[in-house]
Amino acid sequence: MRSFQRRIAEFNARAIRVVAISVDEPDINRRHRQKLGFTLKFISDPQAGAIRRYDLLHKGAGPSGTDIARPAEFLIDSTGTVRWFNLTESVLVRARPGQVLKVIDDLKMASTVGG
């Protein structure tokens, strides 16, 4: 998330909202955002409804065997259609902001030329 925060202006310039979703309670997310100085939006999903909807629940992979969300990045358009996604099994492997920005630009270019 730090790398996305550092490049937030580039996402904002493209009218893209970066949102993090986790199983953490709202107060935990709030403290995390404040501690790290994030301006990104954090959504709490302690019952894992959205996480389950996108098949991202990683059962028993959290501290003390708790369920957590699998690492993933999604680009979802204003109609709710998933335009691109990146799924990994490791919290250490994630899409980088530059990669996501390129996908955004490629998708925008494809839609302007009828692709």
For residue 54, what is the DSSP state? T
Which structural domain range is residue 89 located in? 2-112
pLDDT in tens, 10-25: 999 999 999 998 888 9
Beta strands in 1-115 (DSSP E): 19-22, 41-44, 57-58, 68-69, 72-76, 82-87
Angle (CA) 81 85 86, round 5°: 170
113 has a pLDDT exceeding 70:
no
How many domains does the chain fold into? 1
pLDDT for res 57? 86
Query: For position 100, which CATH number holds?
Result: 3.40.30.10
Rounded to two decimals, the pTM is 0.78
pLDDT for res 114? 54
d(CA 5, CA 22): 17
pLDDT in tens, 56-74: 888 888 888 888 888 889 9
pLDDT for res 7? 95
The residue among 72, 109, 108, 101 whose CA lies nearest residue 12 is 101
d(CA 51, CA 23): 8
Comparing 107 with 93, the larger pLDDT belongs to 107
